[in-house]
Each structure stands twice: as structure tokens, then as C-alpha cells.
Amino acid sequence: MADPDSNPPFHAGLIALYAGGGWNGVLIEGESGSGKSDLALRCLEHGFRLVADDRTRLWVDEGRLFGAAPGPIAGLIEARGLGILPVAALRFAEVKLVVRCLGPSDPLERLPEASSRTLLGVVLPRIALRPLEASSPVKVIRRLSPLGGWR
């Protein structure tokens, strides 16, 4: 495995859901204060595990993208209004999906075209959503499901 500390951290969170025989990572990106950590916290209630909050070190191994938390923030998540909370976390996960957090006034297509995001040369499927909507964790699960080969 490549050394994740050799790359600078990417401004995004990473959560993972165990299904289809492995951990399937979801990289959550967006502007500061857009709801990345809020979405991650709510996804934890749906069976996801935290890998990294707010900053994620990314690396490629055998053509697959992986992510981990920088050491000082491993196992920690920020909950606005509560502070920094310890949570059970994975050491790393393979990234299978990218979620782009939209602001409340950003347009959200009803029937979007397939979208992708290239990170460190790896092309990944990407969805855009409003992270503070109640249905957002379920939307992430639904979009991730066909990628992991379960359900």
C-alpha cells in the first residue's frame, strides 16, 4: 500500500459502508460549512463508518483510489454546536463514489446525467445533492448500492 501521508490532505470527508464483501468509501466534498460533516454524521446512523472528517489523504494503489484521515484528526468528527466528537473509525477505505454538497440556492437537477470526478487519475462516479435534506443519507446509499454489487 502506498503511504497516505505522502500526499497533502484533500478538503473532503470520507465515510464507508460495508456491503458486497468490503468497505465502500464515499468522499464528501463541498465548501466549508456546506454540511459535509452533518451528512457524514447522519450516514453513521445508517451503518456507515467514519474514515476522515473534513480532511482526507488520498492515494492510488493498483489503479484504485484510497483515503485515510491525517493522524491528528483520526477518529474525530466535528458536530457544529457540540464540538469535536470521538467516533469509531476505519483506518482507510477505497473510494467508490464522490458526493458534491450543494448550497441551498444551487440548482439540483431532477433527472441528472451521469457525472464523474477524476482524482489522482482515477475516474469515479459523482452525485450532487443538498446534504442537509433528510433524504440525503438514503440517496447516498441508493447511489452506492449498484456500485458495490449488493441489494
Type and span of the H or E element at 118? strand 115-119
User: Would you say how long the chain is, in residues?
Assistant: 151
Report the pLDDT value the prediction gives residue 37, as an integer from 0 to 100: 94
CATH number of the structural domain 4-143: 3.40.50.300
Instruction: Let me know if 54 is a catalytic residue.
Output: yes
CB-CB contact of 26 with 140 (8 Å): yes
Cα–Cα distance, 86 to 44 (Å, whole number): 13
pLDDT digits (tens, 9 = 90+) for 100-122: 999 888 878 888 888 999 999 99
Weakly modelled stretches of the chain, pLDDT under 50: 150-151
Residue of 36, 49, 96, 100 marked catalytic: 36
The position carrying cell 439540483 is: 108
Residue of 5, 11, 64, 80 marked catalytic: 11
Report the pLDDT value the prediction gives residue 149, as an integer from 0 to 100: 52
Report the pLDDT value the prediction gives residue 151, as an integer from 0 to 100: 46
Instruction: Let me know if 11 is a catalytic residue.
Output: yes
Instruction: Let me know if 106 is a catalytic residue.
Output: no
Torsion of CA 36, 117, 9, 128, to 10 degrees: -10
Report the pLDDT value the prediction gives residue 109, as an integer from 0 to 100: 83
Report the pLDDT value the prediction gives residue 3, as an integer from 0 to 100: 59
Instruction: Let me know if 5 is a catalytic residue.
Output: no
Residue of 49, 54, 57, 96 marked catalytic: 54
